[in-house]
Amino acid sequence: MGIERVENKDAVKERIREFLVTYDDEFVPSLSNRTGTNDHFTSKSENESISKYLETLMDQELLVCKKDGNIVGFLSYDIVKENEQISQFVPCVYISTTIIEKEYRKEGIATALNEYLYDNLDVNGDISYITRRTWSTNKTSMNYIESMAFEEIERIENDRGNGIDTIYYARELSVIDE
């Protein structure tokens, strides 16, 4: 298993699209009901929205995990300079999307991707936080994020549907350096 930063995004674009289509419905709302990685939700057609979501990923930094030469997971991130929900934490590194192939889950791939990011992050002194978000019914993700020393910083009630909150998390970069 190896982690690498993607330099040639065209070489992985179709594989990333496969991930988005395959795991679309594991997200709330589904990826096909979004137009990007850091915006609110829409009701566009599945193909149009997956394509728009993919394009926003292609504008971000990508890390991939390869096993036997095949991509089995990825993490995307970006530098966010404005975000009204977490304005006190910007500018920040925002982890927008992490997807691991189902058969490779629970093998430490998400942790390896995150650790690679922390170990190889090249940011200027203006950035003090890494942030990410999930939804309140995704207990697996919430537990994982909290286990990686992220703290809840904002909760938007019913943002993703009745009883489904959007939860933002942050982690100080200084915690990573210790």
Structure tokens at 69: 């030469």
**Among 44-58, 109-123, 157-171, where is mean pLDDT lowest?**
44-58
Question: What is the predicted pLDDT for the residue at 46?
Answer: 43
* pLDDT for 174 beyond 90: no
Over residues 125-153, the mean pLDDT reads 92
CA dist 3 and 67 (Å) reads 9
Per-range mean pLDDT, top range of 12-16, 54-58, 89-93, 170-174? 12-16
171, pLDDT greater than 70:
yes
Q: What is the β-pairing status of strands 129-135 and 151-156?
A: unpaired
Q: What pLDDT, in 10s, does the model give residues 119-128?
A: 888 776 788 9
- All structural domains of the chain: 2-177 (3.40.630.30)
Say how far residue 143 (Cα) sits from the centre of its chain.
15
Q: Which residues on adjacent β-strands are paired with residue 131? A: 94, 170
Cα–Cα distance, 176 to 154 (Å, whole number): 21
pLDDT in tens, 35-89: 666 554 434 344 457 888 899 999 999 999 999 999 999 999 999 988 888 899 9
Does residue 28 or residue 10 have the better pLDDT? 10
Rank 22-26, 59-63, 116-120 by mean pLDDT and report only the highest: 59-63
